[in-house]
Structure 1
Amino acid sequence: MSLLAKFSAGADDRSARLAGIGLMLLAIFMFCMGDAIGKFMVATYSVGQLLLLRACAAFAVLSPIIWRQRAQFRNLERPRLQLLRVLLSSLEVAAFFLATVYLPLADVTTYYLACPIFVTALSAIVLRERVGWRRWSAILIGFCGVLIALRPSTQTISWPALIALGGSFSFSVLLLITRSLRATPDVVMASAQFAGTFLLGAVMAPFGWVTPDAGSLALFALAGCIAVGALLCVNRSLKLAPASVVVPYQYSMIVWAVLFGFAVFGDVPSPATIAGAAIIIGAGLYIFLRERSMGREDTGVSAPG
């Protein structure tokens, strides 16, 4: 290969990586915006209504893609595992928005920052992947960060915090299953997730139904469209650049969660939340660096909510 060809290939690779990073940052911004809209809506409407109407809007956007790629929905691999993934995804989204009814957006996001740590721990326990003492140390430090943010005591621990932490753990199991179903097309996975939230929302929505006005319907539709756009950006980002390059940028979600929480709801994160988030991010980034040095770039995560 000539020097010019090598230079061009290197430039193309750098351009793809930069594009992947840019799309990941855009996706995280969109996810956090959608989460803020969701938190705003569940102050008036039920979580079931949010899940139902958000999924309807998502399907309206996805329907042309689903129709064009309908052949990919046949003969899915491991259907029982696919069903478990949809169930976990639906419960996780419901837990996230239920927690935001009672907790600041930054607090809920902090618990979800622990997902890479949970994934690494579960990979060793469930998938029997080799995890050395350095990463186990990072996992333990990350759990300490979770405990600091959770502030466990008889006076401060709450069910919403436990729901958020449970949602984070469910999301981690979801990621492990997704890793096992890598052969499943992206459109199938995304559609299945929205189908699950649609069905769960249809079951929950009649309880405490509040008829939305035109403005609220527009916000529900916006939340669904944003979720689809963010999901497509994440998938494209992971195709343009290795997971070990773009996934650490998902930690920018805590910045947007703090900003949206303050701007929209007047929430100011507590020192414990900030300290816990910093420890979790540090531990998670170390795990990602170890994954990259070990040559394992398939430990990717998607933003919650």
Structure 2
Amino acid sequence: MTAITTATDSRLGILLMLGGMTFFTLNDALGKWLVAEYPVAMLLAVRSLFGMAVLLPMILREGVRTVFAVKRLPVHLVRVVLVTVDIACFYWAVGYLPLADVMTIYMSAPLIVTALSVLFLGETVGWRRWVAVLVGFAGVVVVLNPTGGFDLVPSLVALLGATIFASGLIFTRLLREAGTLPLVTYQTLGGLALGGAALPFSWTAPGVLDFLLLGLLGVTALAGHAMINRSLQLSPAAVVVPFQYVSILWAVLLDLAVWGTEPSLRMGIGGVLIIGSGLFIFHREQRLKRGSAAGAASDHV
């Protein structure tokens, strides 16, 4: 019965990750559009404000004390800072680089998760997966294009954001016993607090359309965070995280449709290396899991 439940949870976790990354790509495209006119701090604060407006009825229904009285509060706070800084890095980088390029750099996060899982989750990673991680990072180097003309600072900020994003995923996995609502509430309040602190120095009055787009930014981010958090609660990070790659497809299509930017050859080559490495890691994890399950079953025969 346990094996059936686990398989069902894994499938649901994968579907939630796909849905969450679709919402996130829409959010990222909106952020790229808006960051051309408004500062990053304002995007963080206003999107979090709209997110809290959506969350408030759920918090009241669940009970304020239930939502905020979490175990391991310091771990929650570290996760909040990681998630908020990651968002700020992404919005800043995407203001200077094509959306698909930044998304491709961010897709190194599953490789970073694999490396960090050894330290934080106590997982064992064999030599094949380490080789895959190295190949994936070679893909990141290709996307960054260090020997050619590239925008150094935004590219490095995107890579820093990807590392922080991966760390946030690890902390989400560490807090898998916490409910989805507390996780989303804390990270939304974190964005509101950190963005709001800089708001008096960066406020720009938006028009009606932009104000609605800022609100949509908050709703899509909230939906994406909720789906990804639930996905990581249902399934191991190594199983669901590789399915973030769907966001590269959406990013390429949005770059073409909205900004008329075609994907570069280096982005394509680097993306293939990154995605291929991540999918190999996913395949290896599944194979090892099946082997462990078969060994456990034979022990009971």
Q: What range describes the TM-score normalised by the shorter chain of this pair?
A: 0.7 to 0.9
Question: C-alpha displacement at 1:67, in angstroms?
Answer: 1.4
Cα distance, 1:163–1:16 mapped onto 2, change above 3 Å: closer
TM-score, L = length of structure 1:
0.85
TM-score, L = length of structure 2:
0.86
Q: Distance in 2 between matches of 1:165 and 1:144?
A: 13
SS of 2:200's equivalent?
Answer: coil
Q: Is the 8 A contact 1:110 1:273 kept in 2?
A: yes
SS of 2:205's equivalent?
Answer: coil
Instruction: Give 2:259's aligned residue.
Output: 265
1:49 partner letter: M
Partner residue of 1:180 out of 146, 150, 174? 174
Q: Distance in 2 between matches of 1:61 and 1:244?
A: 30
Query: Structure 1: any 5+ residue segments left out of the alignment?
Result: 2-9, 297-305
Q: Distance in 2 between matches of 1:34 and 1:230?
A: 9
Partner residue of 1:73 out of 67, 71, 74? 67
Instruction: Give 1:146's aligned residue.
Output: 140
Q: Distance in 1 between matches of 2:24 and 2:133?
A: 26
Q: Distance in 2 between matches of 1:88 and 1:244?
A: 20
Instruction: Give 1:233's aligned residue.
Output: 227
Alignment of 1:165 with 2:162, yes or no, is no
Alignment of 1:133 with 2:127, yes or no, is yes
Alignment of 1:32 with 2:25, yes or no, is yes
Question: C-alpha displacement at 1:18, in angstroms?
Answer: 6.4
Query: Structure 2: any 5+ residue segments left out of the alignment?
Result: 291-301
Q: Is the 8 A contact 2:98 2:261 kept in 1?
A: yes
Q: Is the 8 A contact 2:21 2:224 kept in 1?
A: yes
Instruction: Give 2:52's aligned residue.
Output: 59
Alignment of 1:83 with 2:77, yes or no, is yes
Q: Distance in 2 between matches of 1:17 and 1:176?
A: 17
Question: C-alpha displacement at 1:123, in angstroms?
Answer: 2.0
Cα distance, 1:21–1:174 mapped onto 2, change above 3 Å: closer
Instruction: Give 2:185's aligned residue.
Output: 191
Q: Distance in 1 between matches of 2:82 and 2:239?
A: 27
Q: Is the 8 A contact 1:111 1:168 kept in 2?
A: yes
Q: Distance in 2 between matches of 1:240 and 1:176?
A: 14
Cα distance, 1:88–1:68 mapped onto 2, change above 3 Å: same
* TM-align CA RMSD: 2.6
Partner residue of 1:220 out of 198, 214, 217? 214
Q: Distance in 2 between matches of 1:235 and 1:123?
A: 17
Cα distance, 1:53–1:255 mapped onto 2, change above 3 Å: same
Q: How many residues align?
A: 288
Identity of aligned residues (%): 42
SS of 2:95's equivalent?
Answer: helix
2:108 partner letter: A
Cα distance, 1:74–1:125 mapped onto 2, change above 3 Å: closer
Q: Is the 8 A contact 1:99 1:164 kept in 2?
A: yes
Q: Which structure shows the higher helix fraction?
A: 2
Partner residue of 2:199 out of 205, 211, 216? 205
Q: Is the 8 A contact 1:55 1:198 kept in 2?
A: yes
Partner residue of 2:40 out of 43, 47, 50? 47
Question: C-alpha displacement at 1:72, in angstroms?
Answer: 2.6
